[in-house]
Amino acid sequence: MSEREPTTALVERLREAYGDGLRAVATYDREGYTVHYRDAAVTAAYDDPDLDAIYEDVVLGDVNRGFEETLFDDLGDVEGKLRLFADGTVAHFWPRSDDAGVLVAFDGSVDVAVRTLHGIVGEHYG
DSSP notation for 20-56: GGEEEEEEEETTEEEEEEE-HHHHHH--HHHHHHIII
Question: What is the reported pTM?
Answer: 0.87
CATH class of this structure's domain 6-125 = alpha beta
Q: How far is CA 92 from the centre of its chain?
A: 4
How deeply is 123 buried, as exposed, middle or buried, from its count of CB atoms within 10 A (0-12, 13-18, 19+)? middle
pLDDT in tens, 15-61: 999 999 999 999 988 888 999 999 999 999 999 999 999 888 877 67
Please state, as a whole number, how many other Cβ atoms lie within 10 Å of the Cβ of residue 61: 11
Q: Which helix (H) or strand (E) holds 120?
A: helix 114-125
